[in-house]
Amino acid sequence: MKLQQADLDYFARGTWQNPQFWRRFGGQPDFDGARVLDVGCGHGSMVIYIARAGAAKTVGLDLNCELIAFANANLAQNYPDLAPRVTFRCQDLRDYPEDAAFDYIISKDSFEHIIDLRGMLQEMKKRLRPGGRIYAGFGPLYNSPFGDHDYTKSRIPWRHLMLGEEMLVARVNHRWKTDHIHSLHDLGLNGLSLAEYERIFAESGLKIVDFRPNSSEKLVSKLFALPARFRPLREYFTFNIYIVLEKPAR
């Protein structure tokens, strides 16, 4: 398979995005000898990063088979030394063996796209060893200024919330000259609010080890710190979440 330049460029963004992801948690775990799963791995950049950090086994899963085809070809062509320790699969986590016992499950910029996040957390929990951890960093959250992932094509903050789901979807269909988009879910966005995420995490049966809203080195993080302190505004001034969840020992 010939690797497309656009995919290679996207993959290369990991060079700065992966270290940034871990800085937003305050540091990365020791991956030496670890078994690691990346859910929503996309082009596979984080998987390669973790394998290079010494993980014994690293698996990347994604529902987008084209991205997994790229990840596998890129692995074979550019990282053959890592191939014995790396697997990419176009597969739903529900179809992955339950006795996997991963030390870490990673998810970068994907939780806001996972439609049944509540169910996904249970599937992740089944595949973690006791004491194993999930590291998930994601955003923008739907109720934040640009939480529509630019589907509205507006520079006006919160414009998508003013429009509402129906009008947003109508705009997208008009622009794309389609009629099959009926909801945010069809656009690959779960549309969850901050409050809903918090409830899902609290009810997951996983221990919340760390919860960092608005974790970023960008100025916006400082600007939003004050309004995000006030309960009615928090929902609209929280643009991302970096969370660590742990499977209880029993």
Ligand X SMILES: C[S@@+](CC[C@H](N)C(=O)[O-])C[C@H]1O[C@@H](n2cnc3c(N)ncnc32)[C@H](O)[C@@H]1O
Instruction: Give the DSSP letter of residue 16.
Output: H
Q: Closest distance between ligand X and the C-beta of residue 225, in Å?
A: 25
Q: Using the rule CB under 6 A, give the single segment among 106-114, 159-167, 194-202, 204-212 that binds ligand X.
A: 106-114
User: Closest CB to ligand X belongs to which residue?
Assistant: 42
Per rule CB under 6 A, is residue 113 in the interface with ligand X? Answer: yes
Per rule CB under 6 A, is residue 61 in the interface with ligand X? Answer: yes
Among 34, 35, 37, 40, binds ligand X (CB under 6 A): 40
Single out the residue of 137, 8, 21 nearest to residue 71, CA to CA: 8
Long-range contacts of 184-191 (CB under 8 A, 24+ apart): 184/142, 185/115, 187/149, 187/151, 188/113, 189/112, 189/113, 189/142, 189/148, 189/149, 189/151, 190/112, 190/113, 190/114, 190/115, 190/117, 190/142, 191/142, 191/165
Per rule CB under 6 A, is residue 110 in the interface with ligand X? Answer: yes
Please give the span between the terminal C-alpha atoms of the chain, in angstroms, as a whole number. Answer: 45
Count the residues of the shown chain that bind ligand X, applying the rule CB under 6 A. 16
Alpha carbons 191 and 117: distance in angstroms, whole number: 11
Per rule CB under 6 A, is residue 136 in the interface with ligand X? Answer: no
Among 42, 132, 137, 213, binds ligand X (CB under 6 A): 42
Tokens representing 184 are 């945010």
Among 37, 39, 75, 169, binds ligand X (CB under 6 A): 39
Q: Using the rule CB under 6 A, give the single segment among 55-63, 150-158, 177-185, 236-244 that binds ligand X.
A: 55-63
Per rule CB under 6 A, is residue 190 in the interface with ligand X? Answer: no
Q: List, as one string, the DSSP characters of 109-171.
A: S-GGG-TTHHHHHHHHHHTEEEEEEEEEEE---TTSTTTTTTSS---STTHHHHH-HHHHHHH
Q: Using the rule CB under 6 A, give the single segment among 104-112, 162-170, 195-203, 223-231 that binds ligand X.
A: 104-112
Per rule CB under 6 A, is residue 67 in the interface with ligand X? Answer: yes
Longest dimension (CA), the chain: 52
Per rule CB under 6 A, is residue 63 in the interface with ligand X? Answer: yes
Q: Which is nearer to ligand X, 43 or 234 (CB)?
A: 43
Kind plus residue range of the DSSP H or E element containing 213: strand 207-213
Q: Closest distance between ligand X and the C-beta of residue 88, in Å?
A: 12
Per rule CB under 6 A, is residue 62 in the interface with ligand X? Answer: yes
Per rule CB under 6 A, is residue 185 in the interface with ligand X? Answer: no
Alpha carbons 231 and 6: distance in angstroms, whole number: 42
Among 64, 122, 193, 221, binds ligand X (CB under 6 A): 64
Binding positions for ligand X, rule: CB under 6 A: 39-43, 61-64, 67, 93, 108-110, 113-114
